[in-house]
Amino acid sequence: MWPARGRLRGYRARRGGEVVEFPVGHVRDGDHVLVMAGRAARKTWWRHFRTPAPVEVRLPGGWSAGVGRVLHGAEREAALAVYRHHRPHVPAEAPLVTIDLPPAEPLRGKAFAWSWFWIVTLAEFAGFAVPAVVGPLTAGAAPAVAVPVLLAVGAVEGAALGCGQALVLRHALPALPGRRWIAATSAGAVVAYLAGTLPAAAEIHRRPPVQAAAAAVALGLVLLASLGTAQWPLLRSHLSRAWLWIPVTAAAWLAGLGVFLAVTMPLWHDGQALAGTVLIGAGGGLLMAATTSAITGFALARLLASGG
């Protein structure tokens, strides 16, 4: 996939046996490249497409063959609205050419799983670097201070994770709204952080053992299921069994948090230097990120391969 707005690296079309090639501004709209012919009276290239004609465009990734044509009527008005969203200062009367490209093959199988693993691991690790630093700094703070700070940190971590996931998903599910996915992931992370901070903030350990255990189990389930539940509404229109994403992500985070605690808890101790605490947390966070992304990536690859 290419950016919505940018510059074509080249355009090539046959005109009387001659090859025409030059850079030109464009807007990408799915499998269509929209090109505006500003100052059309001085230019001739767009006239080649008054009837549909084959054309090649050089975009990131190399040359792609398509069919170019000048748009008219309602189709032109719809395309002009898309073009102006990215390039608002364009003349309304200028010819607008669309280059229809063949649909891109969606990312599937091992290619999807490995892309997800590497990109999402790095995204989650980058996001977790924030709580790895902020967490030790708020360790002794009052709940009224620590909880809001940690919720904000959770929103940042969730947004980073969502960005990495959306980057891969746009190649697998092009119609999935990336910004909404990022927002949903960030919101789910805030809920997870809230569930994680409530036991200490509410001093649940002071309650009777049965109540404390029940509260811990309930909050643990909320923590594990929050991300998958927040993302599920966006997946269900693309995968028939999208509900499986909730237990998949819950299992992934259970495993990831287990790895994190198994690595960090034996190494953390009272009186430790802040730098050491942060480094241990960051190392544990990297292993947690790799664990969760491996499980979610290969599970989602299976869901995509089976059509959901």
DSSP letters, the chain, are: ---SEEEESEEEEEETTEEE---EEEEEETTEEEEE-TTGGG--GGGGGSS-EEEEEEETTEEEEEEEEE--HHHHHHHHHHHHHH--S--TTS-EEEEEPPPPPPP-HHHHHHHHHHHHHHHHHHHHHHHHHHHHHTTTS-HHHHHHHHHHHHHHHHHHHHHHHHHHHHHH-TTS-HHHHHHHHHHHHHHHHHHHHHHHHTTGGGS-HHHHHHHHHHHHHHHHHHHHHHHHHHHTTT-TTGGGHHHHHHHHHHHHHHHHHHHHTTT--TT--HHHHHHHHHHHHHHHHHHHHHHHHHHHHHHHHTT-
Residues 255 and 278 in one domain: yes
What pLDDT is recorded for position 5? Answer: 42
Whether the predicted pLDDT of 237 surpasses 50 = yes
pLDDT at position 4: 44
pLDDT at residue 202 is higher than 80? no
Average pLDDT over residues 34-63: 81
Most confident of 3-7, 11-15, 58-62, 120-124: 120-124
Residue 184 has pLDDT above 90, yes or no: yes
How sure is the predictor about 127, in pLDDT bands with cuts at 50, 70 and 90?
very high
Residue with tokens 């464009």: 26
In a shared domain, residues 177 and 297? yes
144 in the same domain as 114: yes
Do 9 and 119 share a domain, yes or no? no
Q: Is there a single domain that holds both residue 125 and residue 72?
A: no
Residue 219: closest CA among 235, 201, 232, 231: 201
> Residue range 33-45: average pLDDT?
82
Give yes or no: residues 146 and 275 share one domain: yes
Are residues 287 and 177 both part of a single domain? yes
- In this predicted model, which residue has the larger pLDDT, 124 or 28? 124
Residue 146: domain span: 109-305
Last residue of a domain, one of 67, 83, 100: 100
Task: Provide the mean pLDDT of the chain.
Answer: 86
Number of domains in the chain: 2
Q: What is the mean pLDDT of residues 10-36?
A: 65
Per-residue pLDDT averaged across 276-291, rounded? 93
- The CA radius of gyration of the chain, in Å to the nearest whole number, is 25
The token duo for 142 is 């009052």
Looking at 100, 119, 146, the residue that finishes a domain is 100
Domain end, chosen from 100, 120, 144, is at 100
- So what's the pLDDT on residue 12? 58
* Together in a domain, 128 and 93: no
Instruction: Indicate which CATH number applies to the domain containing 87.
Output: 2.30.110.10
127-134 average pLDDT score = 90
What pLDDT score does 20 carry? Answer: 46
Question: In terms of domains, do 185 and 144 share one?
Answer: yes
Residues 236 and 116 in one domain: yes
Entry pTM: 0.72
CA-to-CA distance for 84 and 79, rounded, in angstroms?
9
The answer on 117 and 206 residing in a single domain is yes
Across the range 194-215, mean pLDDT stands at 77
Lowest mean pLDDT of 74-88, 116-130, 249-263, name the range. 74-88
66 with 204, same domain: the answer is: no
Q: Measured between alpha carbons, how far is 196 from 220 in angstroms, rounded to an integer?
A: 8
